[in-house]
A and B are shown apart, each in its own frame.
Chain A
Amino acid sequence: MLWRRYFVTLILLAAVGGCDSPSAKFELSLPYLRKQEKDASTEFTLDQRQGLADILAALFGTPDAPYIPAGGGTGIEEVLDASKLRMAAGAVSSDQEGAPHGLYRKHCAHCHGVTGDGMGPTAAFLNPYPRDYRMGVFKFKSTPKGGRPTDADLHKTLVKGIPGTAMPSFRLLADTEIDALIDYVKYLSIRGEVERQLADEMAFELDEGEQLEVSGEFLLEDVVTTVVDRWRMADSQTSQVVKRPEWDEEETLASIHRGRELFYGAVANCVKCHGNTQLGDGQRDDYDDWSKDYEDLTKVIKRDDQKKVLSELAALGALMPRNIHPRNLREGVYRGGRRPVDLYLRILNGIDGSPMPAAILKPADAGPEMKGLTSDDVWHLVDYVRSLPYESLGTQATHDRQYKRSRM
């Protein structure tokens, strides 16, 4: 019979051709390479790019088989645990004892991308875009601006999620799985930072077309160690939070009042971005550091060639940049956490990668002539911000909302 012959042919074709997808691989950061080319007015050859990819692969392995740069002295083993990386990496599977593998690709990669570039398949549909780890910049953490997050900070983000964004809570994962993912995020971040440093090296230190030096010593000592040190320091950099004084109800009201004055005052000047009504309607035309990485878009937007810059970016595979909006403080949605201590840290340290600046802390006994905020001032601001979702905007009498079908 004819149909049977077709059927057999089909099966044979499937057997020969296979249904395998190509194995996952790390991508180079094309926008950053292009930016360095432009800044150094040079052009990387294909060989140079391949050389960079080869060095990174030699140092960090592949998404299926990651490893931490071998050779002592970098201290990287204090930051990353190879067995945790193996648990998080690779294709989604579980071994004979039922222990899971490929956690990163199961839970994270569809938004954050296999490379950790924040460009997974679902990224373009999300607002805000998923985080690109490769700059090593993280927003919600307990270390000062420029510092790397601690494990506890990343743990909190994974367990609590980031309300107001597409980042969900992974509370129901086992602790070992969360720890594995934390290490893998740090691994992708360190790998990305090393890539950027090597690209800088290529752009500014080498002659045109010259291959990157593959000497292990330089790589490990100068590049990897610098990057790793920033992560190693995180724990010791954790900011000192001066405990909020035990204010009674009246003192808290006074604190809220003082916070309001500071909000509108010249020192804290929160009003500039968060707006007169705290709806986040102040300055809304800025960009975050990830969008500014290629070129400072706040300046580009005023130039005639903005379309050209944006189409260049798109051609390099980047997502269309969007403005970063100051938080609407009346919504009661706090991305970095709603505990008073979280808000204290946001005001004290600012938010990395965003235009939110860090406060200048001054001693409690410093006079008003000294610029900055005392820790009490920061607590006043925290109290004020925490009161905003419950403060009525208008003067009209409030009334309980009636839902048609509430059946109360």
Chain B
Amino acid sequence: MGRFWSLLFLLVPVLGVGSFAWAVADIWPMRNHWLPEDISVHGVVIDSLFNFIMYLTGVIFIATGLALFLFLWKYDAARNTKPVSFVHGNHVLEIVWSVLPAAILLFIALYQMEPWSASKLVRPTSPGGDIIPPIAEVTGRQFEWRIRYAGEDGQIGTPDDLFTVNDLHVPKDEPIVLAIKSRDVLHSFFLPNLRVKQDVVPGMKQYVWFTATKNGAYDIVCAELCGWGHYKMKGRITVQDREDYDRWFEQQQAEQNLTELASR
């Protein structure tokens, strides 16, 4: 066997990098395996952070993989007759491999602070400086998303609320805030195209926000294993122009207030 193992281990960095490159190049059968289309304002920052961390860890991953291969290759037992000599530690080396990762981690922590606070801590405000209230409340439930829109009064929890299920509509080019909750277990509210992902914890109300820049229908998925039906917990978010959104809203509300049987 001998050097067979060192070559096998060389496959780890080769295949690892290869599969990434394949997905990024978007060639069959790895089509649609890389980042989905970004239709949000803040997505550029999130994606660049993602890429930065990926390249950083990528370089280290390749270097480690190559080092592992070189050592296996060079010190193959079948080709080395020299007895093993033990080292009792190397102070300088230990300081280097402690300080260097620490410095990198600290750098990442500081570098991502701004995007983190913008997407998780500081809620968007209206031109007047007021915090924008949530347009709707999305409640995760095994296995669907129940949505409750604030009605004309802008308040959720009043008789003019609009109820839908798995069907979220938002106007384009406006900062949208959603309140997200869970009725039963842990879920994760994930809008891949809007670069929004937030665990939903029972008993806790949280807010997510984004500004969508392109009309169309996109996925809402659950990104936290929540039970046997997790895979089918899928909704649809429709981004549309303000007028279309208003029309949709009115039509839904009329349907919800129906007081006679419509003929089908």
Contacts and interface: CB of A to CB of B under 8 A. Distances in A.
A168 B228 CA distance: 13
B136 to A, nearest CB: 16
Interface stretch (A7-15, A39-47, A238-246, A265-273): A238-246
A234 to B, nearest CB: 13
Interface of B: 121, 123, 131, 142-144, 146, 158-159, 163, 165-167, 204-207, 228-229, 232-236, 255-261, 264
Indicate the member of B123, B165, B233, B255 with the most A CB atoms within 10 Å.
B165
Interface residues of A, number: 34
B261 A161 contact: no
Contact of A341 (B121, B131, B236, B261): B261
A350 B123 CA distance: 47
Contact of A168 (B159, B163, B207, B232): B232
Interface string A123-146: 000000000000000000010000
Contact of A171 (B123, B165, B233, B261): B165
A172 interface: yes
Contacts of B144: 161, 168-169
The 4 closest A-B pairs by CB, nearest first: A244-B259, A243-B260, A168-B144, A169-B165
A169 B216 CA distance: 21
A387 B159 CA distance: 8
Given A172-B236, A406-B205, A341 B259 contact: yes
B257 A171 contact: no
Contacts of A405: 204-206
Nearest to A155: B264
Nearest to A122: B228
Contacts of B206: 405
Nearest to B122: A407
Contacts of B143: 168
Contacts of A172: 166, 234-236
A238 B142 CA distance: 32
B258 A171 contact: no
A52 B73 CA distance: 73
B243 to A, nearest CB: 24
A363 B206 CA distance: 51
A379 B259 CA distance: 9
B120 to A, nearest CB: 9
A327 interface: no
Interface in A261-310: none
Contacts of A92: none
Contacts of B158: 390
A133 B53 CA distance: 54
